Structure 1
Amino acid sequence: MMSLASSTIFTTYSIYYVSELRLNPFQLVLVGTVLEITVLIFEGITGVVADTYSRRLSVIIGMFVLGSAFVLEGSIIWIMQPASFLPAFGWLVVSQMLFGIGWTFVSGADTAWIVDELDEESTGSLFLRSKIFALSASLLGIAIGVGLTMLAPNMPFLAGGVFYFILGLILIRYMKETGFTRRERALHSSPVRELGKTWISGASILRHHPLLLLLTVVTLFSGAASEGYDRLWQVYLMNEVGFPETVFSVATGFGLINAATTLLGMLAVYIAGKVIDLERERQVAAALFLLTLLRMGCILLLVFAPDFYWAIGAVLILGVVTSVSEPVYTTWLNTKLPSQNRATLLSMISQSDALGQSAGGPAVGYIGSRISIRASLLSAGILLLPVIALYGRLLRKRSV
Structure 2
Amino acid sequence: MITLFRRLRRPADAARTYYVFEAGFAGFNALAFTLIMVYQVQVVGLTPLQLVLVGTVMEATCFLGEIPTGVIADRYSRRLSVLIGLPIIGAAIILQGAVPEFAAILAAQVIWGIGWTFVSGANQAWITDEVGVEAVQPVLTRGHQLALGLSFAGTVLAGLLGLVSLQLPIIVGGIGFVIMAAVLALIMPEHNFTPDPDARAGTAWATLLGTFRSGLGQVRRRPLVRWFFVISLLFGLSSEAIDRLWTARILESFTLPSLFGRTEPALWFAAFAVIGSLISMISSIVVNRVAPGLVSGTRPGRVLALLVVIQAGGVAVLALSGHLWLAMGALWLKRAAGSIAYPIQATWLNRQLESRSRATVLSMNGQADAIGQVVGGPPLGALASLTSIPIALIGSAVIMSPAAALYLRLGGRRKQSLESS
Task: Give the TM-score normalised by structure 1.
Answer: 0.93
Aligned residue number for residue 373 of structure 1: 389
Q: Does 1:40 align with 2:53?
A: no
Residues 24-77 of structure 1: CA distance to partner in whole angstroms, max 9, x if unpaired?
444323322111111110100000000001111110110011011100110122
Structure 2 counterpart SS, 1:383: helix
Aligned residue number for residue 384 of structure 1: 400
Aligned residue number for residue 302 of structure 1: 318
Q: Is the 8 A contact 2:76 2:199 kept in 1?
A: no
Between the aligned partners of 1:188 and 1:10, the Cα distance in structure 2 is 43
Aligned Cα root-mean-square deviation (Å): 1.8
Structure 2 counterpart SS, 1:49: helix
One-letter identity of the residue aligned with 1:258: A
Between the aligned partners of 1:33 and 1:302, the Cα distance in structure 2 is 24
**Pairing partner for 2:34 from 1, 7, 11:** 11
Q: Does 1:172 align with 2:185?
A: yes
Between the aligned partners of 1:286 and 1:91, the Cα distance in structure 2 is 45
Aligned residue number for residue 252 of structure 1: 267
**Pairing partner for 2:347 from 303, 321, 331:** 331
Count of residues in Structure 1 that have an aligned counterpart in Structure 2: 389
Higher relative contact order (CA 8 A, sep 6+): 1
One-letter identity of the residue aligned with 1:339: S
Between the aligned partners of 1:200 and 1:15, the Cα distance in structure 2 is 43
Moved more, 42-51 or 171-180: 171-180
Structure 2 counterpart SS, 1:126: helix
Between the aligned partners of 1:242 and 1:219, the Cα distance in structure 2 is 35
Show the 5 A alignment for 1:15-94. 15-77=38-100, 88-94=101-107
Q: State the Cα distance separating 1:276 from its structure 2 match.
A: 4.0
Q: Is the 8 A contact 1:30 1:361 kept in 2?
A: no
Question: Quick one: structure 1 residues 376 and 155, their matched pair in 2 at CA, closer, same or farther if it must change by over 3 Å?
Answer: farther
Question: Quick one: structure 1 residues 184 and 36, their matched pair in 2 at CA, closer, same or farther if it must change by over 3 Å?
Answer: same
Question: Quick one: structure 1 residues 94 and 186, their matched pair in 2 at CA, closer, same or farther if it must change by over 3 Å?
Answer: closer
Question: Quick one: structure 1 residues 308 and 138, their matched pair in 2 at CA, closer, same or farther if it must change by over 3 Å?
Answer: same
4+ residue segments displaced more than 4 Å: none
Between the aligned partners of 2:405 and 2:225, the Cα distance in structure 1 is 16
Show the 5 A alignment for 1:182-331. 182-185=195-198, 188-246=201-259, 247-248=261-262, 249-274=264-289, 275-277=291-293, 278-282=295-299, 284-331=300-347
Q: Does 1:141 align with 2:157?
A: no
Moved more, 380-389 or 193-202: 380-389
Moved more, 60-69 or 12-21: 12-21
Moved more, 205-214 or 241-250: 241-250
One-letter identity of the residue aligned with 2:36: Y
Q: Does 1:161 align with 2:170?
A: no
Between the aligned partners of 2:110 and 2:366, the Cα distance in structure 1 is 16
Q: State the Cα distance separating 1:324 from its structure 2 match.
A: 0.9
